[in-house]
Amino acid sequence: MRAVVITKYGDPEVLSIVEVEKPQPDTNEILVKVRATSLNRADLLQRMGLYPDPFPGTHEIPGLEFAGTVESCGEQVKSFKPGDQVMGIVSGGGYAEYLVVHEQQAMRVPTKVSFEDAGAIPEVFITAWDALVCQGNLKSGGWALVHAGASGVGTAAIQICKAIGANVIVTCSSGKRDACLSLGADLAVDYKTEDFVDVCKHATNNHGVNAVLDVIGGEYLNKNVASLALKGTIVQVGLMGGGTTPFNISALMPKRAQLIGTVLRPRPLEEKIAVTQRFINEILPMFETGKLRPVIDSRYSLVDIANAHRYMETNASTGKIVIDVC
Structural domains of the chain sorted by starting position, each given as residue range(s) with its CATH number in brackets: 2-121+265-324 (3.90.180.10), 124-261 (3.40.50.720)
Its pTM stands at 0.96
| pLDDT on residue 204 | 98
| pLDDT on residue 296 | 98
Q: Are 196 and 176 in contact, with CB atoms under 8 Å apart?
A: no
Q: Are 178 and 162 in contact, with CB atoms under 8 Å apart?
A: no
Q: What is the dihedral of CA 84, 90, 93, 99, to 10 degrees?
A: -30
H-helix or E-strand spanning residue 41:
helix 41-47
Q: How far apart, in Å, are the Cα atoms of 195 and each of 29, 170, 208, 297?
A: 48, 12, 14, 27
- Nearest partner of 286 among 133, 82, 83, judged by Cα: 133
The angle that helices 122-129 and 269-282 make with each other, rounded to 10 degrees, is 90
Query: Nearest 5°: phi and psi at 181?
Result: -65, -35
Strand segments (E) across the chain:
2-5, 16-19, 29-38, 65-73, 85-89, 98-102, 106-108, 143-146, 167-172, 187-190, 209-214, 228-236, 258-261, 296-301, 320-324
- 169/86 Cα distance (integer angstroms): 33
Q: Are 146 and 161 in contact, with CB atoms under 8 Å apart?
A: yes
Beta bridge partners of 321: 298
Single-letter amino acid, residue 314: T
Q: How would you write the pLDDT of the chain (326 residues) with one tens digit per residue?
A: 999 999 999 999 999 999 999 999 999 999 999 999 999 999 999 999 999 889 888 899 999 999 999 999 999 999 999 999 999 999 999 999 999 999 999 999 999 999 989 999 999 999 999 999 999 999 999 999 999 999 999 999 999 999 999 999 999 999 999 999 999 999 999 999 999 999 999 999 999 999 999 999 999 999 999 999 999 999 999 988 888 899 999 999 999 999 999 999 999 999 999 999 999 999 999 999 999 999 999 999 999 999 999 999 999 999 999 999 98
Rg, the chain, Cα only:
19
- Nearest partner of 199 among 191, 218, 267, judged by Cα: 191
Q: Kindly write down the DSSP assignment for every residue of 164-229, as one continuous string.
A: TT-EEEEEE-GGGHHHHHHHT-SEEEETTTS-HHHHHHHHTTTS-EEEEEES--TTHHHHHHHHEE
Single-letter amino acid, residue 157: A
- What SS3 string covers 237-258? CCCCCCCCCCCCHHHHHHHCCE
- 315/95 Cα distance (integer angstroms): 21
- Nearest partner of 325 among 127, 118, 121, 124, judged by Cα: 118
Number of other CB atoms surrounding residue 17 within 10 Å = 16
Number of other CB atoms surrounding residue 181 within 10 Å = 16
